[in-house]
Structure 1
Amino acid sequence: MTVPLSVLDLSPIPEGADAATALRNTLDLARHAEQWGYRRYWVAEHHFVSVASSAPAVLIGQIAAATERIRVGAAAVQLGHTTAVAVVESFGILDALHPGRIDLGLGRSGQLRREAQNAPVAAPQPRPWREVDGVVVPAPFDTAAHLRRPRLSARMSALQQPQAVAPDFADQVGDVLAMLAGSYRIGDVEAHVVPGEGADLRPWIFGSTPGQSAKVAGLHGLPFVASYHITPATALDAIDAYRAAFTPSAHLARPYVVLSADVVVADDRGTARRLAAGYGNWVHSIRAGDGAVPYPDPDRCEPLTSEQQELVKDRTATQFVGDPDEVAARLHTLQKATGADELVITSVTHRHADRLRSHELIAQRWTR
């Protein structure tokens, strides 16, 4: 069975371009994705880096207005940087203007950063690379060490009011659900969120490990999106944890899993590999630099040293690069090994035309 395919877009800023260009590219890709039959168009949330998707609700409204049918959503709103009521109100407005087309994705990135900063430093536990039914599962990257970096911590502190402390992720998700259902209370006081209450919104939980996000999604009977494209070492474990915790709800009778993959597709393997040549440099800038740099021109970027390659090899080894048949085969393997109900792909290249072509080719091949 061929499961639906969706798009994840960071609105990446190409080297030599600006945010306005990246946003226009996003609107163009969304229009084409609708024509090519993609089910959803997800927009990521990132800050202080060279991507333009920093305010998902604003961008989702623009995408929904520029398209007609495709569902549009956040992948994901980082609840640690905002409040449940702000999320429900903003997405309630989107649902009112574009009924039946808005997906509310929720993530706990902000909480993860606080936990990493406060946790004692521990030696990483070695774990060998392995394969699960043909899917590469690399050794984990030490994300906690990355999140403890002082420059990153300083920037993330600007995303909250001084002295503000976000509630636990599970409590925030519970509040979102209560606000949508009209049962939210502050102590003994009823509080009705308008717009938002009664909106046709079903939260989606995004996660990368078998930790809290996966369990919250399961316990509330919500759909779960696992990030193989960012955390290939733990995404499959996250899916297992979600299914183990799943309790049927008014939203879902059985678990619903979406799994992400990073792909670059071209008419032939050689072209695809050339277009993907800057990916390792881009990931290295995220992990060792100040955050994602403008997406490199593959014809100009310097080759990584062996030490730099080691830092990003879990990501480069799990990027699906090739012609349509090769990439479709790997995506089918990923879906079969995990039983995913839907796949979401992110495809980043320096030239917008190449990114369009990548999405077009795999969409055409996927539905054959």
Structure 2
Amino acid sequence: MIPLSILDLAPIVEGSDAAQALRNTLDLAQHAEAWGYRRYWLAEHHNMDGVACSATAVLVGHVAGGTKTIRVGSGGVMLPNHAPLVIAEQFGTLATLYPGRIDLGLGRAPGTDQMTARALRRHLASEQEDAFPQDVLELQAYLGPSASAQAVRAIPGSGTQVPIWLLGSSLYSAQLAAYLGLPFAFASHFAPDQLLQALDVYRSAYRPSADWPKPHAMVGVNVIAADTDDEAARLFTSLQQRFLGMQRGQRGPLPLPIDPAVMDTLWNEREKAGVQRMLAATAVGSPDSVRAQLGAIIDRTRADELIVAGAVHAHPARLRSYELLAALR
């Protein structure tokens, strides 16, 4: 098995609250470290009842402070929501506190709806999207070696060389990551449609850089493992219900699992097909079943690393899922 990392959205589950979600995040990170996962990333989302990771840099610091060796980072920070200098200062501070352990994954989307994006002071004019490459370069300059003529510096931040990753679910970030010689993570755990095409573009156009002489592609997958296929299928219904809600424009805490047979009473054929398409990069089942499904994904994508999202309602079952997955390596 190739290296495994974890993507955590700090899920707020039905019947619980954000405080418990944040406690669960740290607990999972500590277990992940003991189980040998390579990275623990947290994603920026806003105005969503079901996730508690809006203040991503704060949560990265919380997790890094509660662990010792695992790399911790963002998967990702939505750069258009922030000034590059602010991100450089935040992650430069984190890298100063936890040297050699911080990753900075960058996304181009707002990570929320348009009304919330306006509340974040994000300009929504189309030309702003063209600023993303320039913002990445500006951020690299703040985190790189300080130049004598540099009028504005990130302190802390300058010289920390925090590794930057580009994240995306389309060809745009794949092309930019290839051009800049950066590692690339594809968000196939919820938007798998262009996965293979994006990876082909990234690898074929890649320009080697000093830090990354070869392309490095990380693929996002959903994994729900349990001791039996039937139990995993039951746990999976929480994620299916969440994605059904997304189809309907409904948000909320992660639902309780239900009998898999009941799912067919909740959705129509169009909705079911939509959920299945969004969850195409998913492995669900017993350890043997998950191994086979992930093997097929790795063979198809030639991924260098997998980053695993595991939305399970009960925290002990979520821990068990990641424990079973770690044992497959």
TM-score, normalization by structure 2? 0.92
RMSD of Structure 2 on Structure 1 (CA): 2.1
Pair 1:298 & 2:257 matched: yes
Change (3 A) 1:85 1:166: farther
SS in 1 for 2:171: coil
How do residues 1-368 of structure 1 correspond to structure 2 at under 5 angstroms?
2-49=1-48, 50-110=50-110, 152-160=113-121, 168-182=131-145, 190-211=151-172, 213-291=173-251, 293-299=252-258, 303-306=265-268, 307-365=270-328, 367=329
State the Cα distance separating 1:274 from its structure 2 match.
0.7
State the Cα distance separating 1:281 from its structure 2 match.
1.5
Measure the CA separation in 2 of the matches of 1:179 and 1:192.
6
State the Cα distance separating 1:161 from its structure 2 match.
5.9
Of 327-336 and 188-197, the range deviating more from structure 2: 188-197
SS in 1 for 2:237: coil
State the Cα distance separating 1:348 from its structure 2 match.
0.8
SS in 1 for 2:327: helix
The superposition leaves residues 280-333 of structure 1 with CA deviations (integer Å, 9 ceiling, x where unpaired) of 210122232243x10000138864221432332213444211001111121122
CA contact (8 A) 2:247 2:271 kept: no
The aligned amino acid for 2:105 is G
CA contact (8 A) 1:209 1:238 kept: yes
SS in 2 for 1:109: coil
Any gaps of 5 or more consecutive residues in structure 2? none
SS in 2 for 1:261: strand
Measure the CA separation in 1 of the matches of 2:154 and 2:298.
38
Measure the CA separation in 2 of the matches of 1:298 and 1:350.
7
Measure the CA separation in 1 of the matches of 2:171 and 2:256.
36
Q: How many residues align?
A: 322
Measure the CA separation in 2 of the matches of 1:5 and 1:202.
18
CA contact (8 A) 1:99 1:200 kept: no
Change (3 A) 1:36 1:275: same
Any gaps of 5 or more consecutive residues in structure 1? 114-146
Following TM superposition, where does structure 1 have runs of at least 4 consecutive aligned residues deviating by more than 3 angstroms? 161-167, 182-185, 299-303
CA contact (8 A) 2:144 2:161 kept: no
Measure the CA separation in 1 of the matches of 2:137 and 2:282.
35
SS in 2 for 1:76: strand
TM-score, normalization by structure 1? 0.83
